[in-house]
Amino acid sequence: MTLFVSRYAKAFADVVAEFHLDVADVDKQLKDFLATWDESAELREVFEDPSVPAEQKIAALDKMKGHLHLAPQVRNLLAVLIHNDRIGAIHDVVAEYHRELQLRLGIHQAEITTARKLTAEDKESLLKYVAELAKGQVEATFKLDESILGGVVVRIGSTVYDGSMLGRVERLKEELSK
């Protein structure tokens, strides 16, 4: 991720907070714009073409604004990206905005890998434990990987907690080789 993506995402998260915007509404507007963006090669071509003046691009955005029901703040984010020739990074900016928002809300993304399929009770119990590790709320995705043999591997951000049998064997092998 480039630095400018983070700057735009954080600034937009600040605006959403400052204006007390409904996060779900903002999310829907961004999704609608991204769907339009992804479906229209012509739109992408015009918006990313440096020979088309920014004023023309923003005028086209303003025509779309009513159809997509964009809040002024969402429209302004898109207009700033267009004006600064950064609209091509809109997917990255939106993804980083979502990460920033979750960070501000104390929600951590976790990836939980197990060797076997978990029951609903097992998942609930594991999620409570992972929330304690993360010191906050957790949104988790579960993966199945039989190669870890047993146990669980939890990734929260860049931190990995390896409680798998494979991890234990590897650590024991390392200890024995010293």
Query: What domain count does the chain have?
Result: 2
Identify the residue with better confidence: 157 or 140.
140
Global pTM value: 0.74
**Would you place residue 100 in the very low, low, confident or very high pLDDT band (cuts 50, 70, 90)?**
very high
Q: Of 60, 81, 103, which marks where a domain is finished?
A: 103
pLDDT-above-90 percentage for the chain: 87
pLDDT of amino acid 2: 86
How large is the C-alpha radius of gyration of the chain?
A: 22
The CATH number of the domain where 15 resides is what?
A: 1.10.520.20
pLDDT of amino acid 138: 93
pLDDT of amino acid 71: 97
Is 80 exceeded by the pLDDT of residue 1? no
Question: Quick check: 105 and 137 in contact, CB under 8 A?
Answer: yes
Residue 165, domain extent: 107-177
Q: Of 103, 125, 157, which marks where a domain is finished?
A: 103
pLDDT of amino acid 178: 84
Please write the tens of the pLDDT for every residue from 9-65.
999 999 999 999 999 999 999 999 999 999 999 999 999 999 999 999 999 999 999
pLDDT of amino acid 15: 97
Pair 82, 156 in one domain: no
Q: Of 103, 122, 150, which marks where a domain is finished?
A: 103
pLDDT of amino acid 45: 97
Contacts of 155 (CB under 8 A, 6+ apart): 110, 111, 112, 113, 161
Terminal Cα-to-Cα distance of the chain (whole angstroms): 39
